[in-house]
Amino acid sequence: MTLKDGIEREINRIISILIRDQTKDGSWDYTFETGIATDAYMIILLRTFEINDEMLIQALVQRIAGNQEDNGSWKLFHDADEGDSSSTIQAYYALLYSGYVSKQEPRMRAAKKFILENGGIERAETFTKTLLAMTGQYTWKSLLPLPIEIILFPLSSPLNFYDFSVFGRANIAPLLILSHFKYKKTTSRTPDLSDLFARGTNTEFEHRNEDWRNLLTSMKDQLKQMTDKPADLKRKAVRAAEQYMLKRIEPDGTLLSYFSSTFLMIFALNALGYTLKNPMMVKAINGLRNMAVQIGDDLHIQYTTANVWNTALISHVLQDAGVPWSHNVIQRANHYLLSRQHTQFGDWVLRNANTMPGGWGFSTINTINPDVDDATASLRSICELTEVQPNYQQAWTRGIKWILSMQNDDGGWPAFERGVDKKWLSLAPIQGAEYLLLDPSTADLTGRTLEFFGNYSSMNKEHPAIRKGVKWLKNNQRKDGSWYGRWGICYIYGTWAALTGMAAFGKSTIDPSIKKAADWLRSIQNPDGGWGESCKSDIERTYVPLRDSTLTHTAWAVDAFIAVSDKSTPEIEKGIAYLIDQGEKEDWTNNYPKGQGMAGGFYIHYHSYRYIWPLLAMSNYRRKFLGQ
């Protein structure tokens, strides 16, 4: 079979799968899978509030137990050198609290041994310790001393609540309430985890914690000077934190559609006196329940849904592969996307006051938290319809204006908000502070935005926004030629986004930056023709090979080469051959995370990616080099 025949066969196979999997509302609801943390937290939530949903609890126990390693730990990804301490604590706690697993079972003794050998509860990350404090297993005084008054700090203050990213704020607002009240809720079934303390210390953390405490104390003192009634100030701050949450609840009851923020909000509302009979509490808990999805024989609680993201990408790549915009599957998908364009103002307007809403969010029920990547993906999908249907033209115009307005002053694009990049906040004594608290310009967002403008709009390379964006990419290229991608794994992803973005404005391998990046990609191609990158790259902040190829990483690398090459090359053809030959393979590489939320703590397996990116790469190859 020739390469051309193989491409045709594989493109048609993937198209048929995607058409089959479209849901009734026109979207694709492929799973957004994130390990066992959400499953563990859900068990603990249900048991803490004595909601005895035994079928759900038993199903989650099965999934958690089934992911345990031989040494008793739980890992974040396949090739991690050893288990993850925080994940193991979460799993151990949830299994015990479920009531279906005993401490005396060999697997639990092995888990306990692993936890203690790795520093005990003391070495857990901040949010695991917070979970433990909320449920009576840890002391609040040992956690980050963030005063609730911070929510009242003026925007002119060296540090204020809105210096944190919108994702950070969604989680910090309920944390402020819980910490203020030193909230603790136990039941007669609460396990005793006191035997998981190793009595160790973390000197570096304590030192940073002390510096952070001194800064916040000085700012807190400034606020006290503004009033002679500190108690009134605290009450005002509590009210402000409560209102921040309540004003950002999505139609399904979740806080900005995130599991973690909703989980914390439920406990925070309880601390404020809300009972389980309150409709808001009921709706929030049910919102988390509705995140449940079946994966094979297991049930998983998703961190969020990814329907808008999946649908925008799939509708676009189907059209790229030759499915006409008039086809029913595209019409339904784009109708769904049109209904999901935002009309409400979100927090993004605080630093972007002169722009109307026009973006798209990530999940199916997101209405006030749009992001640049979903916006450009949705506009790619509806592009063809703007010429024939006025309502799509209006959506297009609003979307373009919103995306342009989101460009940072440094020339790059962030995910959610402009100007949220006080780099010193990354020194906060919170694991993943850089990811939780900041929303800087990134190579992946900047590259993909440039690719959209170059290939789908009339904007030319002399437009100030484009010149600034390309300049940002060139200034942020690493010495080895790669770029770091914030929301994917990791350097292959970032390099693909940067190369396709610059190629959309005429850059080719003649350009030194492009050539350097292409040389780097070429140097890391595997003998089988594919590419693969480890999640360790994200932790070590340098490229770490996976040693095995994945469909997604291969598709990104091949698509990058296609974008910057005038003719097909051996590395392109070897990569395409890999995508054809391995398209139907079923092994651990298909489930390996290709996205990340926080280095060392939160990785994402997109079930849609094995179809989306190979289809895009093969379609682009066929059009550019086969003339089809």
**Residue (of 466, 468, 498, 464) closest to 482 by Cα position:** 498
b (16+ CB within 10 A) / e for 136-158 = bbbebeebbbbbbbbbbbeeeee
Sort strands 545-550 and 531-533 into parallel, antiparallel or unpaired.
antiparallel
**Residue (of 87, 59, 56, 66) closest to 290 by Cα position:** 56
- Token pair belonging to 142: 């040992």
Active-site residue (options: 84, 373, 439, 444): 373
Residue type, 308: V
Mapped to the 3 state alphabet, what secondary structure does 338-379 carry? HHHECCCCCHHHHHCCCCCCCCECCCCCCCCCCEHHHHHHHH
DSSP-derived 3-state class of residue 487: coil
The Cα 239–Cα 235 span in angstroms is: 6
Residue whose tokens read 């404090």: 133
Q: Which long-range contacts (C-beta less than 8 Å, at least 24 apart) are formed by 465-468?
A: 465/404, 465/407, 466/505, 468/407, 468/411
**Residue (of 489, 495, 484) closest to 521 by Cα position:** 495
**Residue (of 29, 18, 77) closest to 614 by Cα position:** 18
Q: Which residues contact 250 (CB under 8 A, 6 or more apart)?
A: 256, 257, 287, 365, 366, 367, 368
Q: Which helix (H) or strand (E) holds 175?
A: helix 166-181
When computed from its CA atoms, the radius of gyration of the chain, rounded to whole angstroms, is 24
Q: What are phi and psi of 321, to 5 degrees?
A: -85, 0
Cα dihedral 350/355/358/364 (nearest 10): 10
**Residue (of 579, 555, 570, 561) closest to 521 by Cα position:** 561
**Residue (of 541, 304, 534) closest to 432 by Cα position:** 541
Residue whose tokens read 């936890």: 115
Is 223 within 8 Å of 233 (Cβ atoms)?
yes
Q: Determine whether 221 is an active site residue.
A: no
DSSP 82: S
Q: Which residues contact 8 (CB under 8 A, 6 or more apart)?
A: 622
Is 403 within 8 Å of 375 (Cβ atoms)?
yes
The Cα 444–Cα 489 span in angstroms is: 11
- What amino acid positions are annotated as catalytic residues? 373
